[in-house]
Amino acid sequence: MAPEGGVIKTAGVEMTEFTGTAKVFDREEYAFEAVSKGEIDEGDVVVIRYEGPKGGPGMREMLSTTAALVGQGLGKKVAMVTDGRFSGGTRGFMIGHVAPEAFVGGPIALVKDGDKISIKLEDNSLNLHVSEEELSKRKEQWRRPAPNYSTGALAKFASLVGSAANGAITKPAEY
């Protein structure tokens, strides 16, 4: 699910593996709203995508949703996966910086509600349990969403920034 990698904060995390059912959100605000409404259950893997360097743009911090999960008593009962980022104050089984990000068609863009996802710290794995055939179909059907900004500094940033796997740094424009 993250062929170029991801980041997990292991300090203070008691779990070493987690398998659950995906609940997918295309913006952090949608995930936060679902947590607030009690729509996230024990055993879910909350997937927040299109928050990466290009999709956000800028890798917004997912602190609101992680704090809401902890506040709902779900901090040790769910996992979260995102192409966005977390703060140092984040608690729980959370993987961020997933690359390649959804906006460029990374595997996180292909996850659907109900998919099984497993995370194992021992072998540094994050797996989406969907057949290669099904993933190929999803990839064919996937369409990049419209960017959040089409003009201004954030649009320029999104067009120049690279993968989180390479530091989400900007590259010179090509003319």
Residues involved in catalysis = 87
- For residues 74-86, one letter each, b for 16 or more C-beta atoms within 10 angstroms of the residue's C-beta and e for the rest, the string is bbbbbbbbbbbbb
Rounded CA-CA distance 130/134 in Å is 6
Question: What are the distances in angstroms from CA 59 to CA 43, 51, 56, 154, 168?
Answer: 26, 5, 6, 12, 9
User: What residue has token string 């959370």?
Assistant: 94
Q: Report the distance separating Cα 70 and Cα 156, nearest Å.
A: 36
